[in-house]
Amino acid sequence: MRTGKWIMLVVCLLSMAACKKSSDSGGGSSKMLNVAYGTDPLQKMDIYLPAGRSTTTTKVVIMIHGGAWSLGDKAELNGFVDTFQRRLPEYAIFNINYRLSVPPNNPFPAQEMDTKAAIEYIYNNRQAYGISDKFILVGASAGAHLALLHAYKYSSPLKIKAVVDFFGPTDMKDLYDNPGIVNAAAIAGIVGATPTSNPLIYQQSSPLHYVSSQVCPTIILQGTADPLVNATRQSQALQIKLLTSGVTNQYVSYAGAGHGDWDNATYFDAFNKVQNFILTNVN
pLDDT digit string (tens) for 20-43? 333 333 349 999 999 999 999 999
pLDDT single digits (tens) 134-156:
999 999 999 999 999 999 999 99
145 vs 75: CA distance, rounded Å:
18
- Greatest Cα-to-Cα distance within the chain, rounded to the nearest angstrom: 56
What is the per-residue pLDDT for 279? Answer: 98
What CA–CA distance (Å, rounded) separates 171 from 255?
A: 22
* Residues in the chain with pLDDT values less than 50: 6, 9, 12-13, 15-27
pLDDT value for 18 = 38
What single string gives the DSSP state of each residue in 31-100?
EEEEEESSSSTT-EEEEEE-TT--TTT--EEEEE--STTTS--GGGGHHHHHHHHHHSTTSEEEEE----
Q: Alpha-carbon distance 144 to 235, whole Å?
A: 11
Per-residue pLDDT at 127: 97
Decide yes or no: CATH 3.40.50.1820 for domain 4-17+27-281.
yes
- pLDDT, the chain, mean: 92
Distance CA 55, CA 65 (A): 26
- Per-residue pLDDT, 274: 98
Is the entire prediction scored with pTM above 0.85?
yes
